Amino acid sequence: MSTDAPAAAPAHSVTTVERGSFCLAHCACGWRGPARRSRDRARTDAEQHLSSPENPPGS
């Protein structure tokens, strides 16, 4: 019998990364947004991910 606690789900921490002329949003939970030419649109994708009902605060 194992007494190890189950691994906690990663917290949501979104960053943007630039790859050439594209900007992508990445989250610690593994989510990745589409490549965008607009940094502002990549940030909007990240905000939508964080506010999604599938991602409650603290999860």
For 29, the token pair is 């939970």
Instruction: Say what the pLDDT of residue 6 is.
Output: 52
Dig out the tokens for 6 from the structure. 């189950």
C-alpha dist (Å) from residue 49 to 3, 7, 13, 57: 34, 22, 10, 11
The pLDDT of residue 12: 86
pLDDT digits (tens, 9 = 90+) for 1-59: 555 655 555 578 999 999 999 999 999 999 999 999 999 999 999 999 999 877 655 55
